[in-house]
Amino acid sequence: MNTTNLLVFDGLLLFSIVGLAWASLATTDERRSVILFMAFGLVLAVAWGRLLAPDVALAEAAIGAGLSGALLLAAVRKQSPGSSHTHANPDRNYSESGAKVVLQWLVTLLCAALAGTLAWALLHALSSAPHDTLPRAISDNLVASGVSNPVTAVLLNFRAYDTLLELAVLLTAVLGIFSLGQTTPGYQPAGPVFDGLVRWLVPVLILTAGYLLWVGAHAPGGAFQAGATLAAAGVVLRLTGRSRIGLPDGFVLRIIMAAGVGVFLLVGLTLLLLGRPFLGYPPAWAGALILLIETAAMLSIAATLLLAFVGGQPQSTAVNAAANRQREENSRC
Amino acid sequence: MTELLLLSATGLMLSLFLGLLRVLLGPSAGDRMLATQLIGTVGVGMLLVLSVLLDEPALIDVALLLALLAAVAAAAFTGQQEARHD
């Protein structure tokens, strides 16, 4: 398939990405900015697909277009309770002290300098060395990795250290969220239409998460995309005002939060004891070990993202149930 | 067949572009969100066409995920008011 025929398509795609990014940053209304950002994520997912990078496209579709949009909308709503429109006065924003203008220009210049450096580095890398040595090294060793998807092979085997540390970063983040204290009880109970939608949506999201986890071994997918999809199921459950959103209580929740890093370390240390390098899987076991680690990582990632949406330590279900009963009684009166 | 797919990809792109105008023009937040949902649907179609055109079956999975998460985003937008502390 010659790609020159898609020139018009590519041009319009590029134009809409840049236009949406600019519009999202330029608007002073936070809610509008969030909606523009969600549209930006959607178009970006299509662009990654067009660039034949379905792994990144999956992550962008799940996190960029879906979850972060929901998270930001909830944050905007929390910031301005009662009023749906928060029109910041543009005059006020622009007439503020000169320091702000200087800061804006400084940030612009720094961004431009960064973009210039990156462009130079890219051009340099493209012109100096043959740039297909890394893909070749991966495809040469793919058989020993235990999976046939090169992205999963890199993330969970060849550079497993990287992924372990990423999961540690997520664990640190969720500990920060936990330190924010108890959350609000949640949302009001949903109407019948929304409730009906959620009854269909949640099982399909859970099924899709399982599919993405499984398919990651031989096609685009994996723990991060699966975890984000699983978290989305919890997000819609919370939006309908249910007390149970799939997060377990107390101790089990803590185990799940730490499961990604824990299982990863456990596998690595067990291999050390057996006389192999840290995270150097024996080829015969690699596929099974990767699936084990990815399953634990998916649960941790889903719990982390869902706790980020909840915005703190979830109340125990007993307290929630009591609050719900109270609310029902109130509405009956 | 390829010409037909190319034509539909470009046609979908044009429709996405028109949807973008509505996202930018608004005027209400609801209008923008509906237009964003339209863009999501167009994006799903686009990914399906591209998966055949570029011979990349994994893009069908991306389309599936985009369709599911667009529903989540819409739910978050229309969402309920948070329950108050009493």
Q: Is B64 on the interface with A (CB under 8 A)?
A: yes
pLDDT of residue A114 exceeding 90, the answer is yes
Q: Which residues of chain B have a CB within 8 Å of the CB of A208?
A: 64-65, 68
Listed in sequence order, the residues at least 6 apart from A39 whose beta carbon sits closer than 8 Å to its beta carbon are A20, B20, B23, B35, B36, B39
Task: Note the pLDDT tens digit of each residue in A247-295.
Answer: 887 788 888 888 889 998 898 888 888 888 887 788 777 788 888 888 9
Q: Which residues of chain A have a CB within 8 Å of the CB of B51?
A: 49
Burial of A277 (0-12, 13-18, 19+ CB in 10 A): exposed
Q: Tell me the nearest-neighbour CA distance from B1 into chain A, angstroms.
A: 12
Listed in sequence order, the residues at least 6 apart from A248 whose beta carbon sits closer than 8 Å to its beta carbon are A256
Task: Note the pLDDT tens digit of each residue in A14-73.
Answer: 988 998 898 888 888 888 888 889 889 899 999 998 888 888 899 888 888 788 888 888
Q: Which residues of chain A have a CB within 8 Å of the CB of B46?
A: 46, 49
- Asked if B79 and A74 come within 8 Å (Cβ–Cβ), the reply is yes
- Asked if B20 and A16 come within 8 Å (Cβ–Cβ), the reply is yes
- Asked if A49 and B29 come within 8 Å (Cβ–Cβ), the reply is no
Nearest to A220 by CA among B47, B40, B37, B42: B47
Q: Is B25 on the interface with A (CB under 8 A)?
A: no
Residue located via tokens 């590519």: A10
Is residue A213 a contact partner of residue A228, using CB atoms and an 8 Å limit? no
- Asked if B56 and A239 come within 8 Å (Cβ–Cβ), the reply is no
Q: Is B1 on the interface with A (CB under 8 A)?
A: no
Quote the pTM value. 0.80
User: From CA A5, how far away is CA A33, in angstroms rounded?
Assistant: 34
Task: Note the pLDDT tens digit of each residue in A177-236.
Answer: 888 877 776 677 777 888 888 888 899 999 999 999 888 888 788 888 899 999 998 888
- Asked if B75 and A194 come within 8 Å (Cβ–Cβ), the reply is yes
DSSP A6: G
